[in-house]
Amino acid sequence: MLTSFIKAFKNLFKKPQTIDYPATPIVQDKGHRGLIEYGEESCIYCLKCEKACPPGAILFVPVQDPSQNEKNKKGLAYNYNPYLCIYCGECVRACPKPDEALWQSNKKPQVAVKSDKVNAEWFVLEKLKKQEKTK
Amino acid sequence: MSKKTIHIPLGSQHISLLEPVRFKFECENEKIVGVDSDVGFVHRGIERACTTKFKFDAIGYVVARVCGLCAITHSLSYTVAIEKLLGGEISKKAKYLRILLLELDRIHSHMLCLSHTCENAGFEAMFMRIMGDRELVMEIQELLTGNRIQFDYISIGGVNRDLDVQTAKKIIENLALVKAKVFSYIDEFTNNWSLSLKFKGIGALTLEDAYRFNAIGPLARACGLPIDVRNEIEYLPFDEVGFKMQTHNDGDINARNMVRLNEILNSLEMCENILRGLPEGEIFTKLKGKPKGEALMRFEAPRGELMYYVKGDGSAMLNRVRIKTPTFACIPAFSHIFMGEEYADAPAILASFDPCLSCTAK
């Protein structure tokens, strides 16, 4: 009985387990798995990341006005879907130039809204990729 | 007077359940005399997807999504099976890091189970305390792998991230805190009326029945059946890091809780040993080729033996991936335990099994 009283009294002065969010911001760890970021200038267009990605969240599709990168002979453009990505980092490990062409940040993706057209636009890209493969 | 029985369902949605399972109890007054179970509510066709949609090197990430709590055991079992087919040895450091995460996962999974046992006993404060303390383990898992639950830490040929000195220091600090907390839980689980006396003799399984119904995991160890895959496999050096079998003789809910608590203590000891004696070396060895042939791999998930069967024909797509999960193997024993118990005890008994339905239905 006495010990439970002492415990209950001590609990009055205990700090809470929870964080007072948003007054206290949540500190994101440096190694937290976040968005995959891409450096267009250093990319050599080997497409290893595209092949390695388990859910297929990276697609290189041909475009009308490709970037001026001299390695980009096929006129491709990098497309990344953060809502399909599982943040495993397999693409970064496959990349021959990690930290320059492709790296993993600790940033979280924005919440997708309807105006982002995440699904419809991405399905068009997937279709394009499929057509390119069958050619 | 004719004997009349009434049917009372528990689930598929019920206040005491975490996951969708349905038990149909046939009751005579308050006593359960018949049990029927249905476990297939969350079937996602993962085995089929593994052989049709994904290449073998991506499946490690697919099977990790079978279950949130034992994600590491799933991806590890699959990866080791593929490594067996590809041939080649991975470094000792990678093996040690794999055990480290496996044991951290076991600690947080057991803590979750214990907290839900408390919740079903009506001890909400203890539930919140254990869930709060579980954050200490989740925190170090995030530091080590970058994620709280879906670790994606294991890859074919080793592990994805190295352990730096600061992380190791933080892990040791947090594990020491957890250890002190676990001793206080053992005290509560032995001396508190709601948790020990109320649970003694409830939901008991005898050693003979454990053999008969093929019980595995903490359920079997609580009946005195010394069965643990960590003791039997040689692939990961569990004996080097100080694995000790934890058994109990009573077979009731209290015995299962005590086995889990002692396993947490043993896992903490193993983690400490790993961190203090981590060998030098590479964390990743590149393995080449495509899987050809058959491989069978067993690992001890927090709930018991997990088995993977993989068959490949030398192409990137596998022919067959078969997953045998611990909860599925324990369903006959679960049904047997319910017989003769009171209906009011059913949620508490069910929580003590720690069933994982997303594993079972996959």
Q: Which DSSP string corresponds to A48-63? A: HHHHH-SS--EEEEE-
Q: Is A31 on the interface with B (CB under 8 A)?
A: yes
Q: What is the pLDDT of residue B265?
A: 92
- Cα angle, residue A60 at apex, residues A54 and A65 outer, rounded to 5°: 165
- Pairing of the two strands B292-301 and B304-313: antiparallel
The C-alpha atoms of residue B222 and residue B236 are separated, in whole angstroms, by: 24
pLDDT mean over B322-329: 88
Please state, rounded to an integer, the average pLDDT across all residues of chain B.
86
B124/B181 Cα distance (integer angstroms): 17
A126 touches B: beta carbon within 8 Å: no
Q: In terms of DSSP bridges, do strands A102-104 and A36-38 run parallel, antiparallel, or are they unpaired?
A: antiparallel
Interface contact flag, B152 A88, Cβ < 8 Å: yes
Question: Cα(A89)–Cα(A101) distance, rounded to whole angstroms?
Answer: 13
Tell me which DSSP letter residue B164 carries: P
Query: Which domain covers residue A42, as residue numbers?
Result: 27-109+116-134
Most confident of A100-114, B191-205, B255-269, B329-343: B255-269
Nearest to B163 by CA among A81, A122, A31, A109: A31
Is position B316 within any domain?
Answer: yes
Which ipTM did the prediction report?
Answer: 0.80
d(CA B255, CA B204): 9
Q: Tell me if chain B has a CB within 8 Å of the CB of A17.
A: yes
pLDDT(B318) > 70? yes
Structure tokens belonging to residue B204: 């008991």
Containing structural domain, residue B68: 55-327
- Tally C-beta pairs within 8 A across A and B: 37
Question: Does residue A43 fall inside a structural domain?
Answer: yes
B34 within domain boundaries = no
Looking at the domain assignment, is residue B272 inside a domain? Answer: yes
Question: Per the domain annotation, does A10 fall within a domain?
Answer: no
Region label for B45, one of left (φ > 0), alpha (ψ between -120 and 50) or beta (otherwise): left
> What pLDDT band is residue B1 in, cutting at 50, 70 and 90?
very low
Query: Is the pLDDT confidence value at A70 over 60?
Result: yes
Give the nearest partner residue to B160 out of A54, A86, A89, using CB atoms. A89
Q: pLDDT digit string (tens) for A26-43? A: 887 788 888 888 888 888
Other beta carbons within 10 angstroms of residue A37's beta carbon come to 13
Average pLDDT of span B94-109: 90
**Confidence check: pLDDT of B197 > 80:** no
Considering Cα of B256, then B231, then B110, then B246, what sign does the dihedral take? positive
**Domain for residue A4, yes or no?**
no
Q: Which residues contact A42 (CB under 8 A, 6 or more apart)?
A: A97, A100, A101
- Asked whether the beta carbons of residue A31 and residue B54 sit closer than 8 angstroms, the reply is no
At residue B264 the predicted structure's pLDDT band, cuts being 50, 70 and 90, is very high
pLDDT tops 80 at residue B113: yes
Hey, are the CB atoms on A33 and B132 less than 8 Å from each other? Answer: no
User: Which of A33, A54, A89 faces B58 most closely, judged by CB atoms?
Assistant: A54
Q: Which residue of A has its CA nearest to B149?
A: A33
Asked if the structure places residue B87 within a domain, the reply is yes
Q: How large is the average pLDDT for residues A98-114?
A: 83
Q: Closest Cα of chain B to A11: distance in Å?
A: 12
Q: Does residue A16 lie in a domain region?
A: no
B104 in a structural domain: yes
pLDDT of residue B262: 92
Give the confidence band of B261 by pLDDT, cuts at 50, 70, 90.
very high
- Give the Cα-Cα-Cα angle B182, B188, B189 (nearest 5 degrees): 85
What angle do helix axes B253-276 and B165-191 make, rounded to 10 degrees? 160
The distance in angstroms from the start CA to the end CA of chain B is: 46
What Cα–Cα distance (Å) separates residue B111 from each residue in B16, B64, B104, B179, B268? Answer: 17, 20, 11, 12, 12
Mean pLDDT of A36-57: 85
Instruction: Tell if the CB–CB gap between B147 and A86 is shorter than 8 Å.
Output: no
Confidence band for B189, pLDDT divided at 50, 70 and 90: confident
Q: How many domains does chain A have?
A: 1
Report the C-alpha gap between A2 and A12 in whole angstroms: 16
Under the banding of pLDDT at 50, 70 and 90, the label for residue A18 is: confident
Q: A90 and B150: CB-CB below 8 Å?
A: no
Contact (CB, 8 A) for B195 and B188 = yes
**CA B150 vs CA B61, B145, B276, B333: distances in Å:** 9, 9, 26, 30
AA identity, residue A121 = E
Axis crossing angle, helix B346-353 with helix B253-276, rounded to the nearest 10: 20
Assigned domain for A72 exists: yes
Q: Is residue A18 part of a domain?
A: no
| pLDDT computed for residue B309 by the predictor | 92
d(CA B202, CA B352): 10
Q: What is the pLDDT of residue B276?
A: 87
The reply to whether A2 falls in a domain is no
User: Minimal Cα distance from A92: which residue of B?
Assistant: B160
**CATH at residue A122:** 3.30.70.20
Inside any domain, residue B129:
yes
Q: How many other C-beta atoms can be found within 10 angstroms of the C-beta atom of residue B276?
A: 9
Per-residue pLDDT reduced to its tens digit, B272-303: 898 888 888 888 888 888 888 898 988 888 88
- Asked if A107 has any chain B CB less than 8 Å from its own CB, the reply is no
- The CATH number covering residue B106 comes to 1.10.645.10
With an 8 Å Cβ cutoff, are A54 and B62 in contact? yes
Q: Which residues of A touch B152 (CB under 8 A)?
A: 33, 86-89
Q: Is residue A5 part of a domain?
A: no
Domain count, chain B: 1
In angstroms, rounded to a whole number, what is the distance separating the alpha carbons of residues A44 and A32?
A: 27
CA distances from B212 to B216, B222, B248, B250 (A): 11, 15, 18, 17
